[in-house]
Structure 1
Amino acid sequence: MSTSTPHKTVLSYFTWSFIVTVVGLALGAWLGWQTTGTIGGMASIFFICAVLAVLEISLSFDNAVVNANKLKDMTPEWQHRFLTWGIIIAVFGMRIIFPLLVVVIAAGIGPIEAIVLAASKPEEYARIMTDAHLPIAAFGGTFLLMVALTYFFNSDKDVHWFGPLERPMARLAEIKGIEVAIVLILLLTFSSVLGEVEGTTFLYSGIYGLLTFLAVEVLGGILDASQKTLNAAAQGGFGAFLYLEVLDASFSFDGVIGAFALSQNLFVIAIGLGIGAMYVRSMTIMLVEKGTLSEYRYLEHGAFYAILILSVVMYFQTLVHIPEVITGLGGAVLIGVAFWASVRHNRREEAHAEEGKTVAAE
């Protein structure tokens, strides 16, 4: 999986994504006809599914870059497991089961009742999901913030895109726990602005997000140690697999909640976001197999800057509404700029190499 496959075209990586798109949109159109019985209703649901897919892709492109960064160091066996089991968990777990669990916990009802509520009273279902946005944003935002800060506060990081900011952060990484301190300061600041009740909920949810990140890191370290001492490569792969699953869940929180602004139908949301998730999987495979991250040195930086901004946006969404389209476009623009900066760097390196050859020939 980690070896380059230059014979494959870019479009070939998206074959299954195209198939899922056709099936998903057809299913969305059928669902629109079944629920409304009109051509207009069918077209409306079809359009919403398409918009949700585009929204999910724009929100999760940075997720694909980070996934590829982690996957390239995993064994082929665990790469395959993440790209098969992982997509099942991503589509069915986060896009269907997660919204149901939120309603089950928030409304104090059983899973069957939650499904009936989603089918018969979508407005009430959407209201419960929206009311749960604050703790979800605090949890997911905190986890993503730790992911981004851990990347930048790294004393071993020697490639810097925005040097004036990244070099000091790399030096400050010598201070143990600086990322945790920054996150706790932000949690306390936002919780004090929100007020007593909402602030307490935000603080506790954020702390749970922090503890989840630390627990995954510790577990991954234990499994990696077990891999070295017991020579069990699969155990180390499981640590990375678990990290990627929690990371994908954190990316999905905001998209799932935001999707209810476009549709209150759980099944329409699952179709649209599921299509988008397949494209994220295809992009991940392409990035790993083509070695794109090593070829474009700043692409990874752009992804982590996008994660950093997304985490802060999730915090601010507890105070003011920020459209998910803006968040998605912001991340896409950052990665695009990072790609452009990488291309410019490669061209400069090639020009210097040519100059060196010319001087040597003279």
Structure 2
Amino acid sequence: MAMAPQKSMLAYLKWAIISTVIGLALGAALGWQTEHTVAGMLKVFFICAVLAVLEISLSFDNAIVNANKLKDMTPVWQQRFLTWGILIAVFGMRIIFPLLIVVIAANVGPWTAMVMAASQPEEYARIMHDAHLPIAAFGGTFLMMVALGYFVDEEKDIHWIHWLESRISRYASVKGIEIAFVLTVALLFSRLLEGADRDLFVYSAIYGLLTFLLVEVLGGFLDKSQETASAAAKGGLGAFLYLEVLDASFSFDGVIGAFALSQNLFVIAIGLGIGAMYVRSMTIMLVEKGTLAEYRFLEHGAFYAILILSVIMYFQTLVHIPEVITGLGGAGLIGIALWSSIRWNRREAGTI
């Protein structure tokens, strides 16, 4: 992807802003259609706006991790992710995924699940809520592996919290240490649960771990095959699949948590879809402007946020933790990492 440093912030956010206008207009129209009052229209409009803000705050780290992977991909695969990938993120995770949960949990057909979402939102929301434990265990395990994969790396030579990260990176030579750590955490945490919930948590965590490993193996195999065919095919289909599963893991918590604000699947899809477009815009900006290279600790902040999010997802199987806290916590870590990067740049320049 060609560098475009002259591009303004507004230019990067153009499609996100357009999506915001269209999405909020659709939300207002849906509110009027369902409640036939100005108050009802404004209520749905407000919920869509709040959901979009929550999705953006929860996805700062997602955009940074996406950019970290995208910078090593060819322009062709970058564009494919930013077009096909965003369609999968918006429609797949925000609409199809919640429907699929109900299809599996309630043992009904897709059309019945769609009708339930439209005519029985309370029942639909109840099923989604009941499915939160396995989703949190699966997504939390996957994200924990993603975060540890960044820190447990022998080649990692830039450390933000040096005394901690330098020690962690030394253990990268121990094969399977991340897997052993995550399994230990999952098994210890499962002891806080009882009965069927304990077994469900463990099984879901194992599936999350297996999914991460399969994506890594499949990604390496696919990309290796492409390199054989063409040396320029770096970071192709395998990286694309990795990013899609990663986005799905980030989306789990937001989709489930959104039902606390609205039980209407279509309102949730609009609000979260708007937020997903801002993630796309932020990802493009980070890649094209080379922001990750300019601010050396920004990635560290994102991966620490992912690690904390994974632990929060585990704890959410026990207690409800508001998404606002999760989002602000992640954004706060990234903000501190950005501030540390700016201070480091100034010290290097000899200005302080």
- TM bin, normalised by shorter chain, reads over 0.9
1:289 corresponds to 2:288:
yes
1:60 aligns to what?
59
Aligned to 2:217: 218
Q: Distance in 2 between matches of 1:85 and 1:235?
A: 18
Give the 5 Å matches for 1:90-109: 90-109=89-108
Per the alignment, residue 308 of structure 2 pairs with 309
Provide the rounded CA distance (Å) in 2 between the counterparts of 1:223 and 1:112. 35
| Residues 129-278 of structure 1: pairs in structure 2 closer than 5 A | 129-231=128-230, 233-234=232-233, 236-278=235-277
Check whether the contact 2:227–2:233 (CA below 8 A) recurs between aligned residues.
no
- Deviation per CA, 1:199-219: give whole Å up to 9, x if none: 100000110000000001111
Superposition deviation, residue 173 in structure 1:
1.1
Amino acid at match of 1:292: T
Q: Which residue of 2 aligns with 1:87?
A: 86
**Is the Cα contact below 8 Å between 2:72 and 2:235 reproduced in 1?**
no
The CA deviation at 1:227 is 2.9
For residues 227 and 36 of structure 2, the distance between their equivalents in structure 1, rounded to whole angstroms, comes to 61
Structure 2 residue matching 1:193: 3-state secondary structure:
coil
* Deviation digits for residues 31-52 of structure 1 (CA, Å, limit 9, x no counterpart): 0000001110100000000000
Gap runs ≥5 in structure 1? 355-362
8 Å Cα contact 1:100/1:115 also seen in 2: yes
Structure 2 residue identity aligned to 1:294: A
**Cα displacement (A) at 1:221:** 1.4
Amino acid at match of 1:303: A
User: Secondary structure of 1:194's partner?
Assistant: coil
Asked whether the 8 Å contact 2:145–2:209 carries over to 1, the reply is yes
Aligned AA for 1:277? A
Per the alignment, residue 31 of structure 1 pairs with: 30
User: Does structure 1 conserve the Cα–Cα contact (< 8 Å) formed by 2:137 and 2:313?
Assistant: yes
Deviation at 1:319, TM superposition (A): 1.0
Structure possessing the higher radius of gyration over alpha carbons: 1
User: For 1:260 and 1:188, how far apart are their aligned partners in 2?
Assistant: 29
Task: State how far apart, in whole Å, the 2-side matches of 1:134 and 1:157 are.
Answer: 34
Partner of 1:40: 39
Shift of 1:234: 4.5
Contact 1:143 1:212 in 2 (8 A): yes
The residue type paired with residue 288 of structure 2 is E
Does the Cα contact within 8 Å between 1:143 and 1:209 map onto a contact in 2? yes
The answer to whether the 8 Å contact 1:17/1:275 transfers is: yes
Aligned residue pair count: 352
What is the TM-score normalised by the length of structure 1? 0.96
Question: How many Å separate the matches in 2 of 1:262 and 1:236?
Answer: 38
Q: Which SS does the other structure have where 1:136 is aligned?
A: helix
What 5-or-longer segments of structure 2 have no aligned partner?
Answer: none
In structure 2, distance between residues paired with 1:97 and 1:158: 41
**RMSD of aligned residue pairs (Cα, Å):** 1.2
1:67 alignment partner AA: N
TM-score (norm: length of structure 2): 0.98
What one-letter code is carried by the residue in structure 2 that aligns with 1:139? F
Aligned residue type for 2:332: V
Q: Report deviation, 1:7.
A: 1.3
Aligned letter for 1:207?
Answer: I
- Percentage of pairs with the same residue: 75
